[in-house]
């Protein structure tokens, strides 16, 4: 077993492109490995990744490990088995995952398998100057507080990073690096369970996470009907509609549109929060927005402490004229 | 189908912001007076899921909780919803355990209870938000694991589990016994019925200590914890809100649009 | 004296509160505006056992005592006074059947009540006999194997929707209390005519009937217990209702307080929240004190009822105080809201209307004061 050295980024490829999350991880990884004076490497799972591997090097990685996919596809157990094997050979001191579907499922399993420490959904990662240990910051109590964890024993530290917590890395085509093909076979017969089906929700146009404008509605909307006004506004501004947990729970809108700590994280240019109180769990999903505008009847609502602009009033009275004016202005 | 549901107690995450105070020295979050702690909302949904399965398949639901003796209230709450039995594990030796320590104790307790087909946990707790215990239990007990379940169906070969993903969902098939962590998409948990409450209040909830589950104490408690909390603080709020006024709400709405145009946002 | 709730009581209070938050807060406003009878709540509350709280489990209820009933009622009324009243009012005929009925009657009437399948009502008051309860004029004439009923009843809560009405009738003129009988009259019985009394200020979604009985023939076995005991059992049921109304007033008053606290923090005048004005604080503080007092008077009365101790006096005191203080609390709440308080958009407007209608049922405040007076002075101001 190689001694723990180096930062390893778990890269994800989506539709033939390196994911934005991976770019964010490479940005952080570059910084951390620089502070540790250790190499940064990345791993990519999947065939035909040579071109992408070059891009990963340009984004900051010193080395890229290419692992051939197994026939079973993306069952987390397969990832874990492959990664376990890779880690045994490579011996990183830090592994960075994105807090994605795959990351949040694989990272904990891997940590248990390897006897590592693990912290999920980090919003900040720093290297302690003296101990050289990784300082793992994450929101707790629904975002009411920030906890900073440090691993006690020497050894492997695994973390997942919250999407959009940092900026993505920028391409530097002058960078050089090494591409290593890893031959890893695992015993698939010992896998317990099968992935039967993967379904993607039908989304017209841009996904919520990529939208430049998000109009979000909460409990204050009062019912399915009220969302029609939000959909109107979204159409005028070229945005998408999101929700907090209440409309999902009540069945007014699909739960897949939930923005929050355990839902989607969005960072639009403009976030309009309508009838939303601003509970931390929800703010975790939208606090990265450039501008936040809120409409709420309760002047004490927390949302106003997190907004740039606000109106204290009933959205039913405020929105129609707001929509009309926006129509004129965006013409 | 026999199910064990792991539950814990937390401060109510719906407490209005600002009422939760952080004590940085003690590294604790302090609840305001008069606010009662509640069952972890994700765990409550795990209980709800277990009850739905019991309605379809029959079997026994056992509620398992590792905490303080006062946590009997949340076990009783789960019993009043319709679970059959409850066990509370409490011992000062467990205080300060991290997710690995907690999972170690729960795994031992699960083995002692025995005769189970499914272990359910909430996906994470509403206080420390670690999201690890379910996974570690699965690893320790060498059981298949599916995380973030929205629905579970019993099939011939075991279970069909619908997992929530950011882009939609995935469906896994696993043999039993299995561990499944439960996400909020399961839906709102049911209210206990009056008869449920009466039955639950009559039940005894045994309290097990470290000795009765034969725990290796080197794996639990503060000393076994693999990480240390070095800071707990309140996040900075950097935005300053400009409230837009108007003689009428309609005028305010129009003015807001103008203001956003001025600021270069529209 | 143990003032702590038991684990079971706490769980019931919690469940009732959760039900109120999920279902009653919004429904209370909707039903008041629409005036529609809240049938759906019978269906929602039956599976939770909330329609038969005092009725033993063998007849489909929960078999709980008045103290737990009161804890539940307080939370239900906090959500919606009207819906709490409408759904709990069945306990009056229910407890009469329970206390006075024979086994056959209990088996026939109680389970459907608990399941929400049937609604029952109690007809006692008459145009000329409201406070003067023993002097009712509705006649029950014995005729072979039947009772024949003739008379007029007013203020019959749930009277129009009821599947069965228990009628308080006089078997022998001039006999007073000793001649009274309670008779169960099914809705289909020929000779019973019901009409709604509309326009009640609170309880807009409720159902109040006037009932006319014209040669209404019912089987002899429909009498609930013996002649002469009618008043005693009617009274027992009414004592329960007095305690129930008290607890509902406590819940309603608490809701007022919660609304005012929020409003006083939100509403700004002179660039400050109005909660920073001393006199606004006084309005809220007075309500808090009175609500707390009413709460413990109610719990005490319920406790005594549960223990089988004499409770006439305590129930009277609790009802008198709780209803009057609920009216005062809602008026204070309206004052906190300034000009807005009298508008329908503001919940406190409705709460005031709902508080007002609690003054008369179960005995007017004036009757209670004279009852208490008579007890203390041994001088009866009522029947002189």
Residue C384 lies in a domain: no
Residue C144 lies in a domain: yes
Same-domain check for residues C250 and C330:
yes
Same-domain check for residues C88 and C126:
no
| CA–CA dist B204, B87 (Å, integer) | 9
pLDDT-derived band at A114, boundaries 50, 70, 90: very high
Query: Which of C6, C13, C14, C266 would you mutate first to test chain B, the one with the most B CBs within 10 A?
Result: C14
Complex ipTM value = 0.91
C160 contacts: CB under 8 Å, gap ≥ 6: C194, C195, C196, C207, C209
**Higher pLDDT among residues A46 and C49, named by residue:** C49
B128 contacts: CB under 8 Å, gap ≥ 6: A140, A147
Residue C27 lies in a domain: yes
Question: What tokens were used for A251?
Answer: 């069945």
- Could you count the other beta carbons within 10 Å of the beta carbon of residue B85? 17
In chain B, which residue's Cα lies nearest the Cα of A149?
B229
Measuring CA to CA, which residue among B37, B164, B60, B172 is closest to residue B116? B60
Same-domain check for residues C193 and C246:
no
CATH classification at residue C87: 1.10.540.10
Same-domain check for residues C317 and C338:
yes
Contacts of B39 in chain C (CB under 8 A): none
The number of domains in chain C is 3
Same-domain check for residues C269 and C373:
yes
Domain range enclosing C351: 232-377
- Assign B74 to helix, strand or coil: helix
Q: What letter would DSSP give residue C23? A: I
Q: Note the pLDDT tens digit of each residue in B174-210.
A: 999 999 999 998 989 999 999 999 999 999 999 999 9
Cβ of B194 within 8 Å of Cβ of C48? The answer is: yes
Cβ of A141 within 8 Å of Cβ of B13? The answer is: yes
Residue C255 lies in a domain: yes
Q: Which of C89, C114, C139 is the last residue of a domain?
A: C114
Residue C239 lies in a domain: yes
Q: Which of residues 178-237 of C touch B (CB under 8 A)?
A: none
In chain C, where do the E strands start and end?
A: 120-123, 139-143, 146-157, 164-170, 180-186, 192-196, 208-219, 223-224, 268-269, 272-273
What are the Cα distances from residue C36, in Å, to C41, C200, C362?
Answer: 12, 13, 25
Residue C383 lies in a domain: no
- Assign C289 to helix, strand or coil: helix
DSSP result, C330-377: HHHHHHHTGGGGGSTTSHHHHHHHHHHTTSSTTS-HHHHHHHHHHHHH
Same-domain check for residues C162 and C289:
no
A218 has a pLDDT exceeding 90? yes
Residue C37 lies in a domain: yes
Matching residue, tokens 């309290």: B207
Same-domain check for residues C288 and C205:
no
**Higher pLDDT among residues A78 and C107, named by residue:** C107
Alpha-carbon distance C10 to nearest alpha carbon in chain B (angstroms):
10
| CA–CA dist C96, C237 (Å, integer) | 6
Same-domain check for residues C109 and C133:
no
CATH classification at residue C287: 1.20.140.10
Pure H helices in B10-98: 41-57, 72-81
The list of chain C residues with pLDDT below 70 reads 133, 230, 383-384
Predicted local distance difference test score (pLDDT) of residue A160 = 98
Query: What angle in degrees, to the nearest 10, is found between the helix axes of C7-19 and C66-79?
Result: 20
- Assign C266 to helix, strand or coil: helix
Domain ranges of chain B: 3-224, 238-266
Same-domain check for residues C339 and C268:
yes
pLDDT-derived band at A204, boundaries 50, 70, 90: very low
Q: What letter would DSSP give residue C126? A: B
Predicted local distance difference test score (pLDDT) of residue A71 = 62
A15 contacts: CB under 8 Å, gap ≥ 6: none
A206 has a pLDDT exceeding 60? no
Interior angle at CA B75, CA B74 and CA B80, nearest 5: 95
**Higher pLDDT among residues A307 and A248, named by residue:** A307
- Which of B230, B241, B260 faces A148 most closely, judged by CB atoms? B230
Mean pLDDT of all residues in A30-57: 90
| CA–CA dist C19, C13 (Å, integer) | 10
DSSP result, A29-41: HHHHHHHHT--EE
What are the Cα distances from residue A16, in Å, to A21, A52, A128, A167?
Answer: 14, 8, 36, 21
Q: Which of residues 29-58 of C touch B (CB under 8 A)?
A: 47-50, 53, 57
Contacts of C266 in chain A (CB under 8 A): 298-300
- Which of B20, B226, B242 faces A141 most closely, judged by CB atoms? B20
β-strand pairing of B168-174 with A194-200: antiparallel
Q: Note the pLDDT tens digit of each residue in B78-125.
A: 999 999 999 999 999 999 999 999 999 999 999 999 999 999 999 999
Mean pLDDT of all residues in B64-82: 97
Q: Which of C193, C212, C227 is the last residue of a domain?
A: C227
Interior angle at CA C280, CA C274 and CA C286, nearest 5: 150
Cis peptide preceding B177, ω within 30 of 0:
yes
β-strand pairing of A13-14 with A17-18: antiparallel
Mean pLDDT of all residues in B59-75: 97
Could you tell me if A298 lies within 8 Å of chain C, comparing CB atoms? yes
pLDDT-derived band at A205, boundaries 50, 70, 90: very low
- Assign A17 to helix, strand or coil: strand
Measuring CA to CA, which residue among A6, A265, A38 is closest to residue A161? A265
Q: Which of residues 269-298 of C touch A (CB under 8 A)?
A: none
Cβ of B242 within 8 Å of Cβ of A308? The answer is: yes
Same-domain check for residues C42 and C102:
yes
Same-domain check for residues C362 and C289:
yes
| CA–CA dist C193, A121 (Å, integer) | 69
Predicted local distance difference test score (pLDDT) of residue A302 = 84
| CA–CA dist C358, C113 (Å, integer) | 24
Q: Note the pLDDT tens digit of each residue in A2-21.
A: 568 899 999 998 888 899 99
Contacts of A188 in chain B (CB under 8 A): none
- The per-residue pLDDT of chain B, averaged, comes to 92
If you classify domain B3-224 with CATH, what class do you get?
A: alpha beta
Contacts of B198 in chain C (CB under 8 A): 8, 62-64
Q: Note the pLDDT tens digit of each residue in A237-256.
A: 999 999 998 898 888 998 88
| CA–CA dist C70, A138 (Å, integer) | 45
Same-domain check for residues C242 and C356:
yes
Residue C2 lies in a domain: no
Question: What tokens were used for B181?
Answer: 């962590």
CATH classification at residue C183: 2.40.110.10
Alpha-carbon distance B93 to nearest alpha carbon in chain C (angstroms):
28
A vs C: CB pairs below 8 A? 7
Predicted local distance difference test score (pLDDT) of residue B18 = 61
Mean pLDDT of all residues in B59-65: 98
Percentage of chain A with pLDDT > 90? 62
Contacts of A299 in chain C (CB under 8 A): 266, 268
């Amino acid at each position: 077993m190689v001694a723990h050295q180096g930062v390893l980024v778990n890269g994800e490829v989506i539709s033939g492109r390196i994911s934005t999350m991976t770019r964010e991880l490479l940005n952080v990884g570059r910084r951390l490995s620089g502070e540790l004076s250790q190499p940064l490497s990345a791993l990519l799972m999947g065939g035909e990744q040579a071109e992408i591997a070059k891009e990963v090097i340009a984004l900051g990685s010193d080395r890229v490990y290419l692992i051939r996919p197994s026939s079973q596809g993306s069952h987390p157990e397969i990832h874990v088995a492959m990664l376990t094997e890779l880690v045994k050979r490579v011996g990183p001191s830090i592994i960075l995952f994105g807090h994605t579907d795959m990351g949040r499922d694989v990272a904990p399993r891997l940590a248990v398998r390897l006897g590592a420490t693990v912290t999920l959904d980090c919003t900040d990662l720093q290297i302690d100057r003296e101990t050289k240990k990784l300082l793992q910051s994450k929101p707790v109590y629904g975002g009411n507080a920030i906890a900073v964890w440090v691993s006690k024993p020497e050894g492997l530290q695994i973390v997942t990073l919250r999407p959009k917590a940092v900026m993505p890395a920028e391409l530097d085509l002058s960078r050089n690096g090494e591409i290593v093909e890893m031959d890893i076979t695992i015993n698939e017969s010992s896998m317990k369970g099968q992935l039967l089906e993967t379904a993607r929700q039908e989304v017209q146009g841009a996904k919520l996470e990529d939208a430049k404008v998000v109009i979000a509605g909460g409990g204050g909307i009062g019912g399915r009907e009220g969302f029609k006004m939000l959909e109107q506004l979204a159409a005028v501004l070229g945005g998408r509609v999101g929700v907090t947990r209440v409309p999902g729970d009540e069945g007014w809108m699909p739960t897949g549109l939930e923005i929050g700590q355990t839902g989607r994280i969005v960072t639009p240019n403009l976030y309009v929060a309508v009838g939303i109180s601003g509970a931390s769990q929800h703010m975790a999903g939208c606090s990265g927005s450039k501008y936040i505008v809120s409409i709420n009847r309760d002047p004490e609502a927390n949302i106003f402490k997190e907004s740039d602009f606000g109106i204290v009033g009933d959205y039913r009275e405020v929105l129609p004229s707001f929509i009309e004016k926006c129509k004129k202005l965006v013409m | 189908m026999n199910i064990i549901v792991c539950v814990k107690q937390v401060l109510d995450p719906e407490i209005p912001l600002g009422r939760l105070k952080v004590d940085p020295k003690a590294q604790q979050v302090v609840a305001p007076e008069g606010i009662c702690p509640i069952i972890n909302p994700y765990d409550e949904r795990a209980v709800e899921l277990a009850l739905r399965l019991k309605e379809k398949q029959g079997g026994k639901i056992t509620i398992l909780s590792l905490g303080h003796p006062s946590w009997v209230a949340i076990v009783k709450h789960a019993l009043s919803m319709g679970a059959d039995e409850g066990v509370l594990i409490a011992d000062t030796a467990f205080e300060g355990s991290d997710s690995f320590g907690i999972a170690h104790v729960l795994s031992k307790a699960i083995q002692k209870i025995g005769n189970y087909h499914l272990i359910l946990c909430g996906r994470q707790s509403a206080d420390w938000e670690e999201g690890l215990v379910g996974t570690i239990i699965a690893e320790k007990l060498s059981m298949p694991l599916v995380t973030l379940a929205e629905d579970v169906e019993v099939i011939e070969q075991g279970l069909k589990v619908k997992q929530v993903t950011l882009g939609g969902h995935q469906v896994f098939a696993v043999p039993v016994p299995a561990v499944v962590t439960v996400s909020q998409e399961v839906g709102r948990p049911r209210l206990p019925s009056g008869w449920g409450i009466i039955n639950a209040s009559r039940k005894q909830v045994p309290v097990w200590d470290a000795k009765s589950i034969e725990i290796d104490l080197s794996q639990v408690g503060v000393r076994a914890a693999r990480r240390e909390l070095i800071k707990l603080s309140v996040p900075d709020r950097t935005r300053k809100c400009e409230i837009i006024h108007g003689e009428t709400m309609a005028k305010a709405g129009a003015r807001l649009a103008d203001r956003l145009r001025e600021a270069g946002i529209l | 004296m143990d003032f702590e709730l038991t684990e079971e009581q706490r769980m019931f209070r919690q469940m009732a509160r959760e039900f109120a938050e999920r279902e009653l807060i919004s429904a209370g406003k909707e039903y008041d505006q629409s005036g529609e009878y809240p049938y759906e709540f019978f269906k929602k509350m039956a599976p939770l056992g909330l329609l038969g709280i005092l009725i033993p489990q063998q007849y489909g209820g929960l078999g709980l005592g008045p103290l737990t009933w009161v804890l539940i009622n307080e939370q239900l009324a906090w959500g919606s006074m009207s819906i709490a009243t409408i759904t709990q009012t069945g306990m009056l005929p229910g407890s009469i059947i329970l206390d006075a009925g024979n086994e056959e009657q209990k088996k026939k009437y109680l389970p459907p009540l608990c399941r929400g399948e049937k609604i029952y009502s109690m007809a006692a008051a008459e145009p000329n006999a409201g406070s003067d309860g023993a002097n009712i004029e509705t006649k029950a004439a014995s005729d072979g194997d039947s009772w024949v009923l003739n008379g007029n009843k007013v203020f019959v809560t749930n009277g129009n929707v009821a599947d069965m009405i228990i009628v308080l009738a006089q078997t022998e003129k001039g006999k007073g209390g000793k001649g009274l009988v309670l008779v169960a009259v099914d809705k289909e019985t020929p000779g019973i005519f019901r009409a709604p009394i509309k326009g009640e200020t609170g309880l807009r979604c409720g159902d109040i009937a006037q009932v006319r009985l014209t040669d209404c023939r019912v089987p002899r076995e429909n009498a609930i217990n013996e002649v002469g005991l009618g008043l005693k059992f009617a009274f027992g049921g009414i004592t329960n209702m007095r305690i129930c109304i008290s607890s509902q007033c406590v819940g309603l008053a608490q809701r007022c307080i919660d609304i005012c606290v929020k409003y006083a923090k939100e509403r700004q005048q002179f660039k400050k929240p109005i909660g920073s004005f001393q006199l606004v604080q006084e309005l809220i503080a007075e309500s808090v004190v009175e609500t707390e007092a009413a709460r413990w008077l109610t719990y005490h009365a319920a406790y005594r009822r549960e223990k089988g101790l004499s409770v006439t006096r305590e129930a009277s005191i609790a009802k008198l105080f709780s209803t009057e203080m609920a009216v005062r609390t809602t008026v204070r709440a309206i004052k906190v809201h300034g000009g807005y308080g009298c508008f329908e958009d503001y919940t406190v407007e409705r709460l005031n209307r709902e508080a007002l209608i609690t003054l008369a049922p179960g005995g007017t405040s004036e009757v209670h004061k004279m009852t208490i007076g008579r007890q203390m002075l041994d001088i009866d101001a009522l029947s002189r």
